[in-house]
Amino acid sequence: MAIKTESEISLPGTIPQKPDVVLERILPYLMNCLTFRLNQLLNQDLRKLGLTISNWRILAVLDVNETASINELVEYAMIEQSTVSRLITRMEEDGLVRRDRIDEDGRVRSISMTEEGREKYDIVQKITLSHSERALIGLSGSEKAILESLIAKMRYNIETYPLPKNSA
């Protein structure tokens, strides 16, 4: 029995490749495949708690910052402003967050987590970390550190360097 090489192994959800097709070598595609599957698994667990990934992102931002404005939530949670506004209204109705006025005319509000939001977030954080660890099974501590470093460098590159003029 011959051992398959890495290029002969087909993972579930991958597209069979023609020799001239490079989809499986395009970084955004590869990252999206991983993110999509992780989000699917996380969504299954979050639904049981009555939450979505967007709820989790907002709670995660509030865990780090304690309070945030809508604009800060938009930036850090990477969710569009109209969506964040609706989510905050729904999360406030569900008792997960509260809004506090921080200026005299009441237009600027600070969002923070309630005790109930904190309790749910603590549960979700454990679930999220277990999904992350599952994806990293078999990687050494140094490989994990290298992966984090490489991702940080790629994020920096995307934010810092413009596309070459001939690629648009």
How do the domains of the chain map onto residue ranges? 51-133
- Concatenated DSSP letters of 91-145: HHHTTSEEEEE-STTS-SEEEEE-HHHHHHHHHHHHHHHHHHHHHTTT--HHHHH
| 51-133 topology per CATH | Arc Repressor Mutant, subunit A (1.10.10)
C-alpha 79/C-alpha 57 separation (Å) is 9
How confident is residue 155, by pLDDT bands cut at 50, 70 and 90? very high
- Tracing tokens 């780090």 back to the chain, one arrives at 64
**pLDDT at residue 24, as a whole number:** 78
pTM of the predicted structure, to 2 decimals: 0.76
Neighbour tally for 116: CB within 10 Å: 12
pLDDT for residue 107: 65
pLDDT at 78 over 50: yes
Nearest CA among 94, 101, 75, 73 for reference residue 85: 73
Q: pLDDT category, 12, cuts 50, 70, 90?
A: low
**Residue 1 pLDDT:** 46
Rounded mean pLDDT, 142-166: 92
d(CA 134, CA 139): 10
114, 120, 118, 122: which is closest to 97 by C-alpha?
114
The pLDDT of residue 86: 95
pLDDT at 91 over 80: yes
Mean pLDDT of 80-85: 94
